[in-house]
């Protein structure tokens, strides 16, 4: 089966699978006291900043709730775009785990701005109101759009002026780096991000994400919060070894560049077809578009993909590191038919 439903549907990159095979050859100490985890932590510190604290976790929701618990208290509110994953797609887990109120902010493209955030920065010091404590950003956004460094800096500066912290959900951060030709450090540490959910599952890993703590004041509690959140893996080497392979020789970037290129190829062909209208800029590996419902129904007989807004006949297509030009052409040929 081939699909354009999600990069979660893709397989595991062979280099990552080989890393897993190597980690599986002998016994090792559990809970991260192994050489694979030590090597992965070294590689992450080399990539981001030497004093960061990486915490390997099982999945994306787990990484988000660990990160948000670290930067909030239950009397805080968390500001995010109304399309944010923590607000729409995590079954209330962030609210349950943090106790915080989530304040969704309407956007046209999934991106927050200081102008959109400022109206929510009130009630500080008033014990009747939840205190604005954190801002959650997705890079790339749920619309596939990408924050520029100056946009990120403007938000982190505003947050820090009000004693707030900024969490970046980087489930697809590799695709943003691929678009902007910037390093992971340039889109996180250098932009003032306090804590990052560093994703890999959508870009060639089998499983696992990494919470990377940049704010030194958060480090002391980090391991306790991970354990209490049921995100501490006993056989951690199977999570951590993947990140070493992922970061070696910029595999993360090569995979993302390919996924983006396949999205561009799909976009260039689709935009020429009658009845197709794109609802968002194509900046990463996600495409949002409308087309006549009969064509959508016809495609769904052979391919699985998601509606974004079924009433408007808006669909989402996603390419991944293992999407091939042949996959794209087969999809287009069926649509042209």
Report whether pLDDT(32) > 90. Answer: yes
Domain ranges of the chain: 13-249, 251-336
Q: Over the stretch 106-138, which tens digit does the pLDDT of each residue have?
A: 999 999 999 999 999 999 999 999 999 999 999
Mean pLDDT, the chain, whole residue set: 96
What per-residue confidence (pLDDT) applies to 26?
Answer: 92
- In order of 27, 77, 213, 215, 288, the CA distances from 53 in angstroms are 25, 25, 5, 9, 36
pTM reported for the whole predicted model: 0.96
Report whether pLDDT(2) > 90. Answer: no
Q: H-helix or E-strand containing 278?
A: strand 277-278
Distance from chain centroid for Cα 215: 19
Report whether pLDDT(77) > 80. Answer: yes
**Cβ contact 142:110 at 8 Å:** yes
**How is residue 187 written in tokens?**
């889109």
User: Does domain 13-249 sit in CATH 3.40.30.10?
Assistant: no
Same fold flag, 13-249 and 251-336: no
What per-residue confidence (pLDDT) applies to 1?
Answer: 74
Architecture category of domain 251-336 in CATH:
Alpha-Beta Complex (3.90)
Helix-helix angle 251-270:325-336, to 10 degrees? 20
What per-residue confidence (pLDDT) applies to 337?
Answer: 84
Q: Over the stretch 39-74, which tens digit does the pLDDT of each residue have?
A: 999 999 999 999 999 999 999 999 999 999 999 999
Give the rounded percent of residues in the chain with a pLDDT score beyond 90.
98
Q: Over the stretch 192-230, which tens digit does the pLDDT of each residue have?
A: 999 999 999 999 999 999 999 999 999 999 999 999 999
């Amino acid at each position: 089966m081939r699909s354009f439903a999600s990069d979660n549907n893709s397989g595991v990159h062979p280099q990552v699978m080989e890393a897993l095979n190597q980690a599986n050859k002998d016994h090792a100490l559990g809970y991260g006291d192994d050489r694979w985890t030590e090597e992965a932590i070294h590689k992450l510190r080399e990539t981001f900043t030497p004093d960061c604290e990486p915490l390997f976790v099982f999945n994306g929701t787990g990484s988000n709730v660990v990160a948000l618990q670290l930067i909030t208290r239950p009397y805080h509110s968390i500001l995010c775009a109304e399309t944010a994953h923590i607000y729409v797609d995590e079954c209330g887990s962030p609210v349950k785990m943090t106790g915080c109120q989530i304040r969704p902010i309407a956007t046209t493209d999934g991106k927050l701005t200081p102008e959109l955030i400022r109206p929510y920065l009130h009630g500080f010091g008033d014990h009747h109101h939840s205190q604005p404590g954190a801002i959650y950003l997705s890079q790339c956004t749920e619309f596939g759009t990408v924050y520029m460094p100056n946009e990120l800096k403007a938000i982190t500066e505003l947050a820090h002026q009000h004693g707030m912290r900024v969490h970046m959900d980087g489930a697809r951060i590799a695709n943003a780096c691929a678009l902007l030709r910037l390093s992971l450090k340039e889109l996180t540490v250098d932009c003032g991000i306090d804590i990052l959910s560093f994703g890999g599952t959508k870009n060639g890993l089998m499983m696992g994400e990494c919470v990377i703590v940049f704010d030194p004041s958060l480090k002391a509690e980090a391991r306790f919060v991970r354990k209490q959140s049921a995100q501490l893996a006993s056989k951690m080497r199977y999570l951590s070894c993947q990140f070493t392979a992922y970061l070696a020789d910029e595999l993360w970037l090569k995979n993302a560049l390919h996924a983006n290129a396949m999205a561009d190829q799909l976009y260039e062909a689709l935009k020429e077809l009658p009845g197709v209208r794109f609802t968002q800029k194509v900046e990463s590996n996600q495409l949002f578009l409308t087309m006549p419902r009969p064509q959508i129904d016809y495609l769904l007989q052979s391919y699985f993909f998601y509606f974004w807004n079924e009433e408007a006949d808006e669909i989402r297509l996603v390419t991944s590191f293992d999407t091939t030009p042949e996959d794209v052409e087969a999809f287009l040929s069926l649509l042209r038919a």
